Homo-oligomer: A and B are copies of this chain.
Amino acid sequence: MEKKAIVLLSGGIDSATTLAIAKDSGYEVYAISFRYGQRHHFEIEAAKKIAIAMGVNRHLIMDIDLASFGGSALTDDIPVPKRGEVEDIGKEIPVTYVPARNIILLSLAIGWAEVMGVSDIFIGVNVIDYSGYPDCRSEFIEAFEKAANLGTKNGVEGKRINIHTPLITLSKAEIIKKGVIFGVDYSLTHSCYDPDEKGRACGKCDSCLLRKKGFAEAGIEDPTVYTYIE
Q: Which A residues lie at the B interface, using CB under 8 A?
A: 60, 62-66, 68-71, 93, 97, 99-104, 106-108, 110-112, 114-115, 134-135, 137, 139-140, 143-144, 146-148, 150-153, 155-157
In the complex, the chain B residue whose C-beta lies closest to that of A76 is: B115
Give every chain B residue within 8 A of A97 (Cβ-Cβ): 153
Cβ of B99 and Cβ of A152 under 8 Å apart? yes
Give every chain B residue within 8 A of A103 (Cβ-Cβ): 107, 110-111, 147-148, 151-152
Q: How many copies does the complex hold?
A: 2
Most buried by B among A60, A93, A146: A146
Cβ of A143 and Cβ of B153 under 8 Å apart? no
Cβ of A150 and Cβ of B139 under 8 Å apart? yes
Cβ of A143 and Cβ of B135 under 8 Å apart? no
Q: Tell me, rounded to whole Å, the shortest Cβ–Cβ distance linking A73 to chain B.
A: 13
Q: Tell me, rounded to whole Å, the shortest Cβ–Cβ distance linking A56 to chain B.
A: 16
Report the separation of the CA atoms of residues A137 and B93 in the bound assembly, to the nearest whole angstrom. Answer: 33
Cβ of B134 and Cβ of A143 under 8 Å apart? no
In the complex, the chain B residue whose C-beta lies closest to that of A68 is: B62
Report the separation of the CA atoms of residues A65 and B63 in the bound assembly, to the nearest whole angstrom. Answer: 7
**Cross-chain contact of A104 among B107, B144, B146, B155 (Cβ < 8 A):** B107
Q: List 25 A-B contacts (CB under 8 A).
A: A60-B68, A62-B65, A62-B68, A63-B65, A69-B115, A93-B156, A93-B157, A97-B153, A99-B111, A99-B112, A99-B153, A100-B111, A100-B148, A100-B151, A103-B148, A134-B150, A134-B152, A134-B155, A135-B151, A135-B152, A137-B150, A139-B150, A140-B150, A143-B146, A146-B147
Give every chain B residue within 8 A of A102 (Cβ-Cβ): 151
